[in-house]
Amino acid sequence: MIMVGQVVSGSHGEVLVRQKTGETLELGEILVCDSNGRKLLFQVFDLKYGSQVEEKAIEMASGMSLQGFSEQHFLDDDLRNYVLASLKPLAEIIGSDVVTVKALPKFFSSLRRLEAKDLSFLTKPEHALFVGNVRCGSRSLDLPVYLNGREVLPHHVFIPATTGRGKSNLVKVMLYSLLPESYCGILVLDPHNEYYSALSKHSKKEKLVYYSTKPSAGGFSLRINYSSLRPWHFQGVMPFSDPQQEAMHALYNAFKDQWVSKILSDEVDFKKFGINELTYPVLQRRLKLVLNESVFVENGGEALVDDVVSDLFSGKKVIIDTSRLSGESELLVGGLLASSVFSKAKSDDSPNRPVVSIVIEEAPRVLSEKNGSSVFSSIAREGRKFGVGLIAITQLASLIPREVLANLNTKIILGNEMAQEREAIISSAAQDLSSDSKTIASLGKGEALLSSVFSKFAVPLIIPKFEDFSKSDSSNSKKVFV
Ligand SMILES: Nc1ncnc2c1ncn2[C@@H]1O[C@H](COP(=O)(O)OP(=O)(O)OP(=O)(O)O)[C@@H](O)[C@H]1O
Ligand SMILES: [Mg+2]
């Protein structure tokens, strides 16, 4: 067993360890301390230099070396100059149990790097959701991490990161491993049309349903009949004034399924419904603006919403390509489908029906509540009671209200340089990540930190590149971890 460091001082929240010469510890790396029969896991959250030589002498010696005077051998002395790592306790492993660390390890204890066998007592859950492999620093332990998808998905998954750090790659990997599973239906609102081509390579692609304004072979046309729309589907899509909302509800009550067709047809004697003559034309104009002509139609598309809902509740994965729609039309399609899923979930309490999760990119658009509260905020707050969750992806976590963020119970945090964003994520995480800000800033492409109310501690992850993952499909691997 190779020791990489030794406890030299510190306190419970910051144990200082001297790094062994020749070994290199990394931020985020997990170390194991076998102390007095206890197995403690620690994580590196800071690194600094230590030296026995006085600072002035070091500066003097450095100056001499820089100016070309004689070699300063004592500066290379590995005994007197070293690296100190600050460690925080992650967990104590007792048999097959994981508990919080309440006592310090023995003074001068040695530490070694984490190995796959340290976590081998953990078993694969029944409804396995693959999220990546355990990472030790920047090294993959080749030990897959699975969560119980049936529990985790209705409690929402949040994926924050700066652009290009691998959010879409992670979602592709998760969806690819979920595709054959019948315990969950997934609705993907895909503004970049990037998921269908990736997932259609799966051997179980019969479980995949694709809608687009320009569907490729095997896809369906994204056409939604006006009669599927309700006034509340417009909530959070764009701001409507109170009189406009009242007008929408009055006209819906009067014309039911026909309310949108009637408004657009200029046939309505709106004054009869107490609607102001200034309000009505504005409402008409705004509806025309948001109702993209190639998607929302007067004839055809009557069954789309019911088809999507029934596919989701039979465990299929439905991808809606919204890449050619304006922001508002896209949100309306999303809001309409999410509302329909949510109301079906509320009325269907059979215990074994699939849970449904909705993937939403640039989540603050619907969770920031800037245009009023949307169905997505309602799902974030109470979806878990009805087995409906979100997989919310964003670069800007700070735009989502704290209360909503706190409800997103599993966070898969990828790299983020922006301190303000890290702060929003850390302050709403399931575990205490207050010392992990530097670690999150230093995460490279595909490196992540999993913080979940369903995991015993925050687990460092490395996510495989989708192209490699889909070739090897490591979701079938025997090695497991929860
Ligand atoms: N785990 C990974 N390993 C190797 N390469 C990766 C990994 N994740 C992502 N990449 C590569 O990084 C690039 C950006 O990834 P991706 O599109 O997933 O980022 P993103 O966070 O979704 O970006 P954006 O904010 O622009 O949507 C892609 O070329 C992808 O192949
Ligand atoms: Mg992306």
Of 385, 340, 303, 333, the residue nearest 188 (C-alpha) = 333
Question: For 145-158, what is each residue's pLDDT tens digit?
Answer: 999 999 999 999 99
- pLDDT for the residue 304: 97
- What one-character-per-residue DSSP string does 302-336 give? SSHHHHHHHHHTTT-EEEEE-TTS-HHHHHHHHHH
Q: What are 206's two structure tokens? A: 């019969």
Give the Å distance between the CA of 169 and the centre of ligand 2: 7
pLDDT averaged over the chain? 91
pLDDT bucket at 476, cuts 50 / 70 / 90:
very low
User: From ligand 2's centre to the CA of 394, what distance in Å?
Assistant: 9
Which atom of ligand 1 is found nearest the CA of 467? Answer: 31
Token pair, residue 470, equals: 């889909």
- Give which of 418, 351, 349, 407 is closest to 376, Cα–Cα: 407
CA angle 17, 23, 29 (to 5 degrees): 60
What pLDDT sits at residue 239?
Answer: 85
Architecture of domain 128-210+306-476: 3-Layer(aba) Sandwich (3.40)
Q: What angle do CA 152, 153, 158 make, to 5 degrees?
A: 90
- pLDDT at site 294: 87
Rounded-to-integer distance, Cα 480 and Cα 451, Å: 18
333 alpha carbon – ligand 2 mean position (Å):
20
Which of the 8 DSSP states describes residue 148?
E
Q: Domains of the chain: which residue ranges? A: 3-114, 128-210+306-476, 227-290
Is 121's pLDDT higher than 80?
no
- How close is the Cα of 164 to the center of ligand 2, in Å? 7
Does the beta carbon of 364 sit less than 6 angstroms from any atom of ligand 1?
no
Residue 141: which pLDDT band, with cuts at 50, 70 and 90? confident
pTM over 0.85: yes
Q: Looking at ligand 1, which residue's alpha carbon is closest to its atom 16?
A: 166
pLDDT of residue 138: 83
pLDDT of residue 61: 81
Which DSSP helix (H) or strand (E) runs through 62?
helix 55-66
pLDDT by residue (tens digit) across 365-375?
Answer: 889 877 678 89
In angstroms, the CA 270 to CA 251 distance is: 8
Q: Ligand 1 within 6 A of 446 CB?
A: yes
**Mutational test site, ligand 1, from 130, 131, 168, max ligand atoms within 8 Å of CB:** 168
